[in-house]
Structure 1
């Protein structure tokens, strides 16, 4: 088993700033409800540019991250502990750059895995699927 970063990429037909907005402010619109604590009650994901990232289920919020960097012209980074303890937080780093073919390349790197978290890391197989949902949303 590995501690290497998980990497997923997608090209979307919008400029990097629009890609950033679609990823951050609209995350709850493309996130798969099956990857939440209670899919039937999932309503949104709240992303505070200066603080927590939380899944919203009715009146309840489940915090699963904290924004580290918010740069609407190219980068979103957050601490990430969905599915593992906060004291074992990993890092999601998402870059939005102009693609040679037009639109934007969105590159997600999920890193910061610590020794002993190999089995947890192995369960994160959905980044490609999530980016496909995101790409369909912003297209």
Structure 2
């Protein structure tokens, strides 16, 4: 069994803004020219749509206006917590209905200070590819979450 990927950061904004930036403003901070299915095909994504509710979808809008499901929100507790089944496609093994699970928890530390913890689990579902997928996501979240998202919360 693989250890979960856990990334914890502190951001210089209140809990509501931290939550809102993560979901509602995802297209503004996610590196669309690096970590998208469109880039796997050679072109940056145009945007990301997020339906912020339980059962809502997170969808990448490709350079050709195609839509790719990234995730389905499984728990939605505004400003405190959300979780999603993370479906980002890639190699063929990803495209057979297998997905990992991502949880993001927002904890108020002070008026303008929030701790945000991202945990990704269920990577074992990728079987022989699991260790490589784990390493890739661990690296990717460092750039996406610990850098790009944190910077977006700082502005």
Compute the TM-score of the two structures, normalised by the length of structure 1. 0.88
Of residues 88-97 and 64-73 in structure 1, the stretch that sits farther from structure 2 once superposed is 64-73
Matched, 1:137 2:135: no
Structure 2, unpaired ranges of 5+: none
Question: How far does residue 118 in structure 1 lie from its aligned partner after superposition?
Answer: 2.5
**Structure 1 partner of 2:106:** 96
Residues 1-139 of structure 1: matches in 2 within 5 Å?
3-33=2-32, 34-39=34-39, 40-48=43-51, 49=53, 50-58=55-63, 59-82=65-88, 83=90, 84-85=94-95, 87-99=97-109, 102-114=112-124, 116=127, 117-124=130-137, 125-131=139-145, 132-139=147-154
Give me the TM-score of the superposition, normalised by structure 2: 0.80
How well do the aligned residues superpose, as a CA RMSD in angstroms? 1.9
Q: How far does the alpha carbon of each residue in 1:60-96 deviate from its partner, in whole angstroms, 9 at most, with x for none?
A: 1110210111111200111002132352211110000
* Runs of 4+ with >6 A deviation: none
Count of residue correspondences: 138
Larger mean CA deviation between 100-109 and 26-35 belongs to 100-109
Looking at secondary structure, tell me which structure has more strand per residue: 1
Structure 1 spans left out of the alignment, 5+ residues: none
1:88–1:114 CA contact under 8 A, matched in 2: no
Q: Is the 8 A contact 1:4 1:113 kept in 2?
A: no
Q: Are the structure 2 counterparts of residues 113 and 38 from structure 1 closer, same or farther at C-alpha, using a change threshold of 3 Å?
A: closer
> Could you say which structure has the greater relative contact order, defined with CA pairs below 8 angstroms and 6 or more residues apart?
1
